[in-house]
Structure 1
Amino acid sequence: MKIHLRNQTLLSLLLMLVTIITSIDPTSAHNSTTYVPAEKIFLNCGAPSGNMSSLNGLTWEGDEGLSYSLGIQSSTLSATASVQDPSVPTVPYMTARFFQTTFTYTFPVTPGRKFVPLHFYPTDYNNNFTISHSFFSVSVGSYTLLNNFSALLTTQAMNYNYIRKEFSVNISSNTLNLTFTPSPANKNAFAFVNGIEIVSTPQIFVQHDVFRQPLMVGTTITLTIDEHTAFETVARLNVGGSAVSARDDSGFYREWDDDSMYIYGAAVGVVYPKDPNVTIKYSDSTIPEYIAPPSVYGSARSMGPNASVNLNYNLTWIVTVDPGFYYLVRLHFCEIVYPITNFNMLVFNILINNMTAFQSFENGWGIDVPVYLDFIVYVSNTSINKNSSQDIWVALQPNTVNKPVYYDAELNGLEIFKINNSDGNLASPVFLSKQQTAEVAFSTFRKNHVQHFLAFKMGMPGVVLLILLLAFMAWKRWRQQKVILQSDDSSVPLPSNRGHLFNFSEIKSTTKDFSESLVIGVGGFGKVYRGEIDGGSTSVAIKRGSRLSNQGAHEFRTEIDMLSKLRHRHLNGMIDQIIDQNLKNDISPDSLEKFVEIAEKCLAGLGIGRPSMGDVLWNLEVALQMHINFEMGESSFNPTSISRYEGMTSSIVVNGDSVFSDLRSPKGR
């Protein structure tokens, strides 16, 4: 990936300009017809030669006797599933190809990007293979798609009966070599596959329009994805609409899932299903139809018509991903909900993993005209268990700064793709190998048998004595923790120094002036630092709010209040909030009261109760004048002496850094 710098606002304006120019010049617009792939291979693995149709209307061919399956009958085994769960389609899941040694399918293809979906149904087959022994790797050329993969463990973890793993790789030669390799760690390991798809696709990830380069979330950097990058599809959602089958996709047989299972909490917003009378105007857009089908752009999910409700929640989707990878997040928009005919009618913010990805986004491309935005986000290993999964949060919230006509947000489609590492790896974190699984099982077996042996040798009197001993130890532990406050099923003692008030200089000292070497984590509000108090006898975690955070003061205060009440062995207790003692006797009481009044209003639970930026600036100026009068010995101050005029321009500077500049507040509210 190449890196370029772009200003986000300039990027948005230039993108709109390109759209306008394209709509004026019809010769530059993309062809709106669906894509016709050069290759579309649907291989029913383990099946005899001949064609069979799947439930979605696709035609699959058996892999025996085909040119790209040379040697398959002499070096592999085929089998039929012994049972069929009602949720499992017959084609391609009821037959499978098994590999005890490395085997490569060689597909003749034209150079270019290919979708490579792989299908797995881990169940019992009419052969001697035990499916729990199946651990294997899959590669295409230099790209590792799966490593030490267990279809059984994966489906069990996801609560699925079968699974489709979809990849996208670029092929520079006339052959695509798909290699299955049993894991060498276990002599009983084997590989298997039920179905393989090879479908040619356009270069949908390479942005020929320089103004669409994906933005790295949390920065002003855009990344150029070259044609050789490989991807794994993590999620492809038809937001607000029903699932779209491969046959109904716009050219290369993608499957789009219903998004309802990915919505966070009960705040699901309002669904606008596909209207048959809506015609998506690809010809007026800068994107071709194959980016997403009309059924995706023709349905949507919005926050709803109630502005007061919308101002108090985010419309959020959560997708589980593997840590240690970069991800491409693609959002699809098409205005079908409101009669948006002018700018500043529907404006909202886009957040990804609690970071602002795009502020003040508005779809100004016109009614029924599709558009999409790409973002890059890195998901790090922040868990103690480095192999555990993480989440990507995609959230939309109304933008109130511009005071648009509608306080709402909407989305039509969402795609998330894992990007290969520098070594070409796309594989998920490695599961326990079969040998490791056996060792864990043996450890449990040995532990249980030791317990049984002790019970047998000691007899009933010994067992009673052991129970009494354990009861005494439990009572003694309870006596030691009698002063501990209970919370849920766990408890921790309250810190003895909870009442201590820290000034800012103490915090700077214990964090070595917020040294980066002491950073132990990064949250939605800012960085967390390690520190020591009480002469080094007590370790503390110090969270410092960042003005770059998309989270507001209300959310930060809510977190503090919640943590102050929560007690758990795995949570640090709150000691106290920071109060700068330098304020005492050094500021006008009236001015301080006015300042606190502003702060309380800004922290109002309902958005309608919070002041506008113009009101905040005006009240801060009132507080400042109160303090100036206090220092000059004047006993009173009339706030009305400060003029509030339309078009007032102000700036706020903190510690020499400009936080806001050229703030214009309208007259009144």
Structure 2
Amino acid sequence: MFTGSHIVLFLGFVSALFSVGLQAPSPGGGSNSLMLGCGSDNEEKDGDGRKWLPDSKYVTASNSVQGQAQYQDPSLNSEVPYMKARIFTSNATYKLPAKSKQRYFLRLHFYPSTYDSHNAEQAYFSVMANGVTLLQNFSASLTCKALTQAYIVKEYSLAPLAKDGVEVTFSINTGFAFVNGIELVAAPDALFDKAVLVGKADETIEGKDSNVQTMYRLNVGGSFISPTNDSGSLGRAWYDDNAYIFGANLGVTNGADKKVIEYKDIPDYSAPVDIYTTARSMGPDPNVNLNSNLTWVFNQVDPKYMYLVRLHFCDTANTKPNQIAFTIYINNQTAEAAADVIGWSGGIGKAIYKDYVTIVNEKNNGELWLALHPNPESKPQYYDAMLSGVEIFKLETSKSLAGLNPKLSDMLQQDEEEQKRSFESQTKTEKGTNKAQVIGGAAGGAAAFGIAAALCIAVYQRKKRVQGTESHTTSWLPLYGNSHTSGTKSTISGKSNASSHLSSAAQGRCRRFSFVEMKQATKNFEEANVIGVGGFGKVYKGVIDNGATKVAIKRSNPQSEQGVHEFQTEIEMLSELRHKHLVSLIGFCDEDNEMCLVYDYMSLGTLREHIYKGNKTHLSWKQRLEICIGAAKGLHYLHTGARWTIIHRDVKTTNILLDENWEAKVSDFGLSKTGPDLNKGHVSTVVKGSFGYLDPEYFKRQQLTEKSDVYSFGVVLFEVLCARPALNPSLPKEQVSLADWALHCQKKGILEDIIDPHLKGKVNMESIKKFADTAEKCLSDCGVDRPSLNDILWNLEFALQLQEGTDGGSSRSWSRTRSESDDASLRNQHMMAIHYSNLSLGSDSEIGEEQPPSSSNNEAPDNDSAVFSQIINPTGR
């Protein structure tokens, strides 16, 4: 579900120091929250400066221990509260101070990791709060794996208490129980009231005394709103709705000034003002609107429960009743025949919300649909519909809010689009392929969940389905920055047999390992050898050939059965590609349910590890340029050096790996797609990739081109320059997206203010300017306006020469005196050099077989970097 992501979203809220045991949290004011860092001995602050208190004074457990997570996922922007946990080996109860007759938000934080000898995969437990079952036989590990999240938060709103205090009891089903953080926030008693039952307009459901679970909370048409910016000090996080829009009709988004928003008939804690300043409407074309719906689809909805759907509205464009009127459908039932926002609210800019209750049964397939359609029968002035925000809450049934653990096999939908890769039709060989998230063999970097963020959460699963080809499952909050991973059973027995679908050519080019060899290489998959964790499974450092060769071994989770198609895609793709700036696949293992991929060991991990957040080293500007140039060469080869264009689709800093010589190699080809010749346009396909890096044109139109990779690479360039994640929702709204914020600063002429402080005063600003201009062009809204990888390479090499001139050469003065015609001539030489270096590096590739004349091969240097340096620097020859 993202991060992002990558970015990390911390679900929490601002709180004053709580006086232990003396005062219960109170609503709407300073000391309104209790935040416990479970397993911690001292008060600690998270990345946003929020204070988490130790939990020992609140918990009664004879057999509990404090655990320290062995591995920090890249999506964790702060250790607090996730790197420590309270481990229970017997039933235990937290007694939290609270006032009677008061409603409270309760949030439980889980980070399924290994804590000393306690592996969260073995933990199945139940949780009750004041007699209400919140979780039953819950597996945080299974849930996070299924949702491709690193960690998760469960949020509940407890009905007004019958007596003082909240008791939260953990009971063990199998193994042990654990929790990383607990939040308790006093909420307004009137947060829930009566709601109309969909399909029975004369019936209402009373919500005032109900316990509820938050499933979704979205800012429709707007961006993420952090808990610290929530209204009423309630600490709610609001996510944007892009991940849930169904079909190609995205509508249009509208914005307004906060000053025009009024809370007339609803309290101001209902939602923050930013919810009401934005909206999504259908657009200006009435003919299109009358023939389509504006639709959102939400899954991970447990059947046999009732759900309260709260819709937030604020019309900041129209002034009179019946200027727009629309029908609201919830699960294909009419919830509101003729919604008229101005008629409801009484005027322009006045906030309002409406509550509806729907019953979800098993025939709904775990989904809840929301659709809006203009109502022509009302004869409105405009055929349109609009929405500003959505909240979905599960209502308790028989003192329970618990659902089943997600089944991985239910989520691994086969994507027909991916199975029809272009080179399959060319070779007429049956090859199963699909979407993937691949870690690409790197140390540490293989963990690339991206910047997932969200406390809970994680990152924007693109919920869009096109012609029924794709379905994703998400948690109650979306996942930021993660690519999806998926797979399907390929045999009735459930064994993977993935290699049976590989082409004979691919199998012939790859070394096949036995599972015994894999265990020997990793010392029986010893946890100490884990160097990363991703959607496919864990990545281990290992040695083969009697210790002569270091490798990275990616092992699929044997229980999850995820990754069959990723497995095939990675082998097919990497077995046919040879380039010094692409990660090398050595071989694979496929025995029963065990699947492993074996790569060259990349000892320096991912690029992301070295540019921000606990970076191991501070890379010099020259090093950064050389790494970017290497990655660009790898991508350029994919685009132009092969028989067919190969579009990577998941370019990001965690998929750029570094070997012991700081050579950059592009990894993670599970999402890659073969496209048409560069002159033949685009490939229509479902949207996949990592949020924060996604090409907006591809996202909107589902038309994939090589310029989609260029956009993602532009984000990478700004990451390298600014040393911050692509998405960071903990920042002010305008700064959340690095792409947007960097472009803003670039246009304002203040980019220097946001570059990595370690670079200031140590670099040639002309080199920085050339680099930033290149990144800016990569992020052009329209793909046709973006440079090719060849142009990018030219500019990066130019920036490197400018820097080397500062470090002690003559290239800086040379660059300023070169004529325009010389520049064009040099470009042509540069293109030829790239072309020949690509071909010479593909000697045993089926995709890029054409070779330059033998004389050229004999004269070409082994290191293609030498080609560039000799051409660009006149002193090179």
> Residues 438-477 of structure 1: CA distance to partner in whole angstroms, max 9, x if unpaired?
xxxxx999999xxxxxxxxxxxxxxxxxxxxxxxxxxxxx
Which one-letter code corresponds to 1:78 in the other structure? Q
Residue 177 of structure 1: SS of its match in structure 2?
strand
CA contact under 8 A between 2:112 and 2:150: conserved in structure 1? yes
Report what 1:412 is aligned to. 388
> Is residue 118 from structure 1 mapped to residue 108 from structure 2 by the alignment?
yes
* Separation of aligned partners in 2, 1:117 and 1:82: 24
CA shift at 1:204, angstroms?
A: 3.8
Report what 1:93 is aligned to. 82
Report what 1:233 is aligned to. 214
Superposed counterparts of 1:616-635, under 5 Å = none
CA shift at 1:276, angstroms?
A: 3.9
The TM-score with structure 2 as length reference comes to: 0.42
Report what 2:35 is aligned to. 42
Residue 118 of structure 2: SS of its match in structure 1?
coil
Report what 1:60 is aligned to. 52
Report what 1:5 is aligned to. none
> Is residue 219 from structure 1 mapped to residue 200 from structure 2 by the alignment?
yes
Moved over 6 A (4+): 443-448
Match of 2:65 among 70, 77, 93: 77
Which one-letter code corresponds to 2:245 in the other structure? I
Match of 2:118 among 108, 111, 129: 129
Which one-letter code corresponds to 1:48 in the other structure? D
Q: Which has the higher contact order (CA 8 A, sep 6+)?
A: 2
CA contact under 8 A between 1:205 and 1:225: conserved in structure 2? no
> Residues 341-389 of structure 1: CA distance to partner in whole angstroms, max 9, x if unpaired?
2222111110101111001110122111001111010001237xxxxx5
Residue 227 of structure 1: SS of its match in structure 2?
coil
CA contact under 8 A between 2:191 and 2:270: conserved in structure 1? no
Identity in percent: 40
> Residues 487-537 of structure 1: CA distance to partner in whole angstroms, max 9, x if unpaired?
xxxxxxxxxxxxxxxxxxxxxxxxxxxxxxxxxxxxxxxxxxxxxxxxxxx
Superposed counterparts of 1:226-375, under 5 Å = 226-251=207-232, 252-273=234-255, 275-276=256-257, 278-282=259-263, 285-320=264-299, 321-336=301-316, 338=317, 340-363=318-341, 364=343, 365-375=346-356
* Separation of aligned partners in 1, 2:303 and 2:133: 16
Match of 1:196 among 182, 188, 209: 182
Which one-letter code corresponds to 1:117 in the other structure? R
* Separation of aligned partners in 1, 2:378 and 2:368: 28
From the superposition, tell whether residues 345 and 141 of structure 1 become closer, same or farther in structure 2 (CA, over 3 Å).
Answer: same
CA shift at 1:268, angstroms?
A: 0.9
Report what 1:426 is aligned to. 401
CA contact under 8 A between 2:220 and 2:280: conserved in structure 1? yes
The structure where strand makes up a greater share of residues is 1
CA contact under 8 A between 2:302 and 2:403: conserved in structure 1? yes
Report what 1:17 is aligned to. none
* Separation of aligned partners in 2, 1:244 and 1:130: 34
Which one-letter code corresponds to 2:332 in the other structure? N
From the superposition, tell whether residues 204 and 258 of structure 1 become closer, same or farther in structure 2 (CA, over 3 Å).
Answer: farther
Which one-letter code corresponds to 2:230 in the other structure? D
* Separation of aligned partners in 2, 1:344 and 1:220: 21
Report what 1:138 is aligned to. 127
CA contact under 8 A between 2:43 and 2:51: conserved in structure 1? no
The TM-score with structure 1 as length reference comes to: 0.55
* Separation of aligned partners in 2, 1:39 and 1:179: 22
Structure 1 unaligned spans of 5+: 1-33, 208-212, 384-388, 434-442, 449-669
Superposed counterparts of 1:596-615, under 5 Å = none
> Is residue 395 from structure 1 mapped to residue 371 from structure 2 by the alignment?
yes
CA contact under 8 A between 2:190 and 2:208: conserved in structure 1? no
CA contact under 8 A between 1:278 and 1:368: conserved in structure 2? no
Residue 401 of structure 1: SS of its match in structure 2?
helix
CA shift at 1:202, angstroms?
A: 0.5
Which one-letter code corresponds to 1:311 in the other structure? L
Give the number of aligned pairs.
382
> Residues 603-649 of structure 1: CA distance to partner in whole angstroms, max 9, x if unpaired?
xxxxxxxxxxxxxxxxxxxxxxxxxxxxxxxxxxxxxxxxxxxxxxx
> Residues 252-305 of structure 1: CA distance to partner in whole angstroms, max 9, x if unpaired?
1111111110111221111124x44543211xx111000111011111111111
CA shift at 1:108, angstroms?
A: 1.2
Residue 192 of structure 1: SS of its match in structure 2?
strand
* CA RMSD between the two structures: 2.5
CA shift at 1:431, angstroms?
A: 6.2
CA shift at 1:221, angstroms?
A: 2.8
CA shift at 1:308, angstroms?
A: 1.4
Which one-letter code corresponds to 1:334 in the other structure? C
Report what 1:167 is aligned to. 156
> Residues 56-98 of structure 1: CA distance to partner in whole angstroms, max 9, x if unpaired?
x43222223x3x23x45x5211111111112123221111111
From the superposition, tell whether residues 159 and 229 of structure 1 become closer, same or farther in structure 2 (CA, over 3 Å).
Answer: same
> Is residue 180 from structure 1 mapped to residue 170 from structure 2 by the alignment?
yes
> Residues 557-605 of structure 1: CA distance to partner in whole angstroms, max 9, x if unpaired?
xxxxxxxxxxxxxxxxxxxxxxxxxxxxxxxxxxxxxxxxxxxxxxxxx
Which one-letter code corresponds to 2:260 in the other structure? T
CA shift at 1:326, angstroms?
A: 0.4
From the superposition, tell whether residues 357 and 246 of structure 1 become closer, same or farther in structure 2 (CA, over 3 Å).
Answer: same
* Separation of aligned partners in 1, 2:309 and 2:494: 47
